[in-house]
Amino acid sequence: MKSYRQELWFEVPTRRAFINITPQVEACLRDSGIQEGLVLCNAMHITASVFINDDESGLHHDYDQWLERLAPHAPVSQYRHNVGEDNADAHMKRQIMGREIVVAVTDGKLDFGTWEQIFYGEFDGRRRKRVLVKIIGE
C-alpha cells in the first residue's frame, strides 16, 4: 500500500470565507500516483472546516447567513469562551460544518457525486492555517 501526506496552507484576509480546494487536492492525488484508494482531508484547526458541497456563490452566502443566525459573532460577550479571545462563534461554526471529508479514489480520480467539490471553510481567518491531505491506496 502507498501512503501520501501533504499540508495545504491558507491565510484568509477576512474573518470568514469558503474556498474551493478541489484543484489542490487533485494535485496531491496526481503527486501520490495512487489509482485506487481513499483521500482524507481535514482542517488542522478547531475554527475551520473541510466539507463537500456545490460550488455556487448563492449557496455559500446562504451558509454564511445560516451560520451567523445559529452562532452570531457579535456580541462577543455572549460566549463564556470569549475571555481573552473572540472566536467562540468560530468553534461552533466549525462544529456544524465538520472537520473532515473522505473521498474514494477510482482510476486515479476523485470519485465524486454530481456537483460535489471540496471546500475549506474559514471562521476565524487573518492568520496562517493548515489543511491535511492524506491519501492511501495502490
SS3 (DSSP) at 60: helix
Q: How many Å apart are CA 15 and CA 93, to the nearest integer?
A: 12
Residue at shortest CB range from Zn ion: 87
In the complex with Zn ion, the residue whose CB is nearer, 52 or 123, is 123
Q: For the beta carbon of residue 26, count every other beta carbon within 10 angstroms.
A: 15
User: For residue 41, with 0-12 CB atoms within 10 Å meaning exposed, 13-18 middle and 19 or more buried, which class applies?
Assistant: buried
Instruction: Return the range that interacts with Zn ion (CB under 5 A); candidates 30-38, 56-64, 84-92, 96-104.
Output: 84-92
Footprint (CB under 5 A) of Zn ion, residues 16-75:
none
Q: How many Å apart are CA 18 and CA 50, to the nearest integer?
A: 9
Residue of 87, 105, 120, 137 interacting with Zn ion (CB under 5 A): 87
Partner residues linked to 131 by β-bridges: 8, 43
Least distance to Zn ion, CB of residue 9, Å:
20
In the complex with Zn ion, the residue whose CB is nearer, 38 or 46, is 46
Instruction: Return the range that interacts with Zn ion (CB under 5 A); candidates 3-11, 61-69, 77-85, 98-106.
Output: 77-85
Residue ranges binding Zn ion (CB under 5 A) = 85, 87
